[in-house]
Amino acid sequence: MERNAQSDEIILLLDNYSTESRDLHMSFRTAGYDSAVAVIEDNGFLPDDVMSVYGFFLGDFKKAGPGRPKYFNEITVPDYWAVSGTNNSGKVHDLYRERGRIFYAEPLHRRLVKVVDWCDEKGTVRSSDHYNRYGALFARTVFNAEGKRFNKTYFGADGREVIVENYVTGDLILNDEGAVRIFRTKVDFVLHFFVKAGLKQSRIFFNSLSTPFFVSQRLGAPAKRDVLFWQEPVGGEIPGNMQVILNGGAARTGQIMVQKRHAYDRLLALGARADMVHKLGFLYPFQKENGHCPKALICTNSDHMEQCRELVEALPQMHVFSAALTEMSPKLLAMEEYENVSLYPNVKTDRLAELFLECDYYFDINYEAEIVSAVRRAFLHNQLIFAFRETLHNADFVADAHIYEAKDAKRMFDAVREVLEDEKKLKQCLVRQRQAAFADEAGAYKSL
């Protein structure tokens, strides 16, 4: 399992595989890097080309379990207990008592099990079962009577106990190739992974000032070759560990790449060194070019939308498609009286994918929860996004100039009309949208 790493090789060391972590990973792939990627907090659904620090020691799950994610009603429960589910989560009941809560992997509407919380008769969570994308139980977290985490056990592909992490003492015990190893901290454990995986000589690119930063500090190097990719907001002061880097106290880290526009501006305003703090956006894999097609998409699971009827009436030249993963209410179904409206209740996955390809505009005007990560997905499909401030779900992908107060709806409709009539203006708006999202070019990554 070991590999020989040259000193100029790069590893992306990520605390977890969040949306921002995935964007950073994809940016490096798009820029032509074939770097190793390792995630510390594994949720069980990592891509094939991403290593799990814990999973490295657990074996190959492809041959264990059913070989596919577990569907919500496939979890094992005692006789006479009932399992139920919606498109957001599931539950387990013993008569009238709730005994389990089922949490899904993204996308939620597929109802694939990621975690099952088990509750005692008082409703307190006492344990959590963690399932992976092969449908196997790979970890179990145990809680004390107050509902606080006590320890987490990781199981190998053969079902044996491999790692036990004690959240009270911070210790980790690893059963590795017949030997029992005890690590006093998570950092010690990750350093052991670096040695076993042959990554000790690699440059570390990381996106967290917690465990990944401390790993970088402990490894040591003759030069400051590691890079922090900062993807979080900045509050009233510069984070303490970032100040260590900026003051020259970091063992290996000498550069900070900020990947959020507002965070970059805030750091400079707080006096961060401009020679060490740089802007670097993501390389987004856009799915298509905008063809100036007068079709717009709205994704919603409710009929609570801001001025949808007014929008349809104000823009008769635009065909509006509304898609939902669930049934639609009579109020929303009544919108099909307009010739320029098409509705898709219980939309199929394939048809939804076609709608994102067909449409060149997206309206983020629905209240309640966002579905199918619609705003981000619209951005990646190069759709021009308009939103009301009251309904905005993901500001990272919407230009400020395209966000309107609900009371200014007429101004929004006028702006859309102008874009529909002028392809040059459409292109300008799309450039503005990409700039707002901090989208970058491959050359920026080549210089790292």
Band of residue 43 on the pLDDT scale cut at 50, 70, 90: very high
Mean pLDDT, residues 94-98:
92
Query: Quick one: pLDDT band at residue 8, thresholds 50, 70, 90?
Result: low
User: Domain with 423 in it: what CATH number?
Assistant: 3.40.50.2000
Which segment of 29-43, 59-73, 196-210, 271-285 scores lowest on mean pLDDT? 59-73
Q: Residue 4 — very low, low, confident or very high, per pLDDT cuts 50/70/90?
A: very low
Q: How confident is the model at residue 41 (pLDDT cuts 50, 70, 90)?
A: very high
Indicate if 355 and 394 belong to the same structural domain: yes
134 inside domain: yes
Q: Pick from 233, 275, 240: which is nearest to 256 by CA? A: 275
Residues 350 and 223 in one domain: no
Residue 125 within a domain: yes
Residue 260, domain member (yes or no): yes
Res. 3 pLDDT band, cuts 50 70 90: very low
Closest to 232 measured CA to CA, from 8, 6, 5, 15: 15
Q: Provide the domain limits for residue 125.
A: 62-157
Tell me: do 37 and 68 sit in the same domain: no
What percentage of the chain has pLDDT greater than the value 70? Answer: 98
Q: Quick one: 71 and 54 in the same domain?
A: no
Q: Are residues 318 and 423 in the same domain?
A: yes
Q: Is residue 207 in a domain?
A: yes
For residues 116 and 251, membership in a common domain is answered with no
Q: Are residues 300 and 430 in the same domain?
A: yes
The verdict on 401 and 304 lying in the same domain is yes
Q: Per residue in 367-386, pLDDT tens?
A: 999 999 999 999 999 999 99
- Statement to judge: residues 86 and 231 lie in one domain: no
| Poorest-pLDDT segment among 112-121, 124-133, 404-413, 438-447 | 438-447
Of 357, 336, 333, nearest in space to 346 by CA: 333
Residue whose pair of structure tokens reads 């179904």 in the numeric block: 333
Per residue in 194-223, pLDDT (tens digit) is: 999 999 889 999 999 999 999 999 997 778
Domain co-membership, 232 together with 343:
no
CB distance 407 to 346 below 8 Å: no
Q: pLDDT value at position 448?
A: 84
Average pLDDT, the chain: 93
Residue 181 lies in a domain: no
In a domain, 166, yes or no: no
Cα–Cα distance for residue pair 292/278, rounded to 1 Å: 35
Instruction: Over range 237-248, report the average pLDDT.
Output: 96
Q: Where would I find the H helices in 315-408?
A: 330-333, 349-358, 374-380
Q: Are residues 87 and 104 in the same domain?
A: yes
Residues 191, 53 share a domain? yes
Q: What is the pLDDT of residues 56-67, one digit of tens each?
A: 999 999 876 678
Is residue 308 one of the residues assigned to a domain?
yes
CA distance 440 to 281: 5
| Amino acid symbol at 286 | F
Distance CA 371, CA 108 (A): 9
For residue 62, the model assigns a pLDDT of: 86
